[in-house]
């Protein structure tokens, strides 16, 4: 997906240059707007990739410490846990975070369970918190 987004950003950037090169005020306006869209897209892509790399490193660190979740749960053919299985695990990981909110490991594990349950928004928030706690 990242490669496709880069391709899209490049194509939008080329169109922006072409519109600006027309010299027509409307074309210049459209070109500037397209350029802004391309820059925003590139910035968002860089931020997402950075977040992904940092989370991957944090997961590897947790794995190296032997702290990765080792729960055996029912999975779908895709390999992802079923929502019901993730929901059963959730209270235990949430309690661990409530018991020690300063521990990044608990936040990371909670993020994994949120992700398994399909709650991407809370998963990302928990992972962000894990990153913040791991730095501090």
DSSP assignment letter at 14: H
58 and 119 part of one domain: no
Q: Which domain covers residue 136, as residue numbers?
A: 73-136
* 19-60 pLDDT per residue, tens: 999 999 999 999 999 999 999 999 999 999 999 999 999 999
| Residue range 79-114, pLDDT digits in tens | 777 777 777 888 888 999 999 999 999 999 999 888
Classify 89 in phi/psi space as left (phi over 0), alpha (psi -120 to 50) or beta: alpha
Q: Structural domain tally of the chain?
A: 2
**Same domain as 60, residue 9:** yes
Q: Are residues 47 and 82 in the same domain?
A: no
Return the CATH number at 130. Answer: 1.25.40.10
What pairs with residue 81 in β-bridges? 75
> Cβ atoms within 10 A of the Cβ of 15, count?
16
């Amino acid at each position: 997906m990242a490669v496709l987004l880069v391709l899209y950003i490049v194509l939008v950037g080329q169109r922006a240059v072409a519109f600006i090169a027309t010299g027509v005020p409307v074309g210049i306006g459209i070109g500037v707007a397209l350029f802004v869209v391309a820059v925003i897209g590139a910035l968002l892509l860089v931020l997402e990739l950075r977040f992904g790399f940092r989370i991957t490193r944090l997961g590897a660190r947790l794995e190296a410490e032997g702290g990765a979740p080792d729960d055996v749960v029912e999975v779908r053919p895709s390999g992802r846990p079923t929502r019901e299985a993730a929901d059963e695990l959730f209270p235990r990981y949430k309690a661990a975070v409530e018991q020690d909110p300063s521990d990044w490991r608990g936040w990371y594990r909670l993020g994994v369970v949120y992700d398994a349950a399909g709650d991407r928004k809370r998963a990302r928030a928990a992972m962000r918190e894990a990153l913040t706690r791991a730095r501090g």
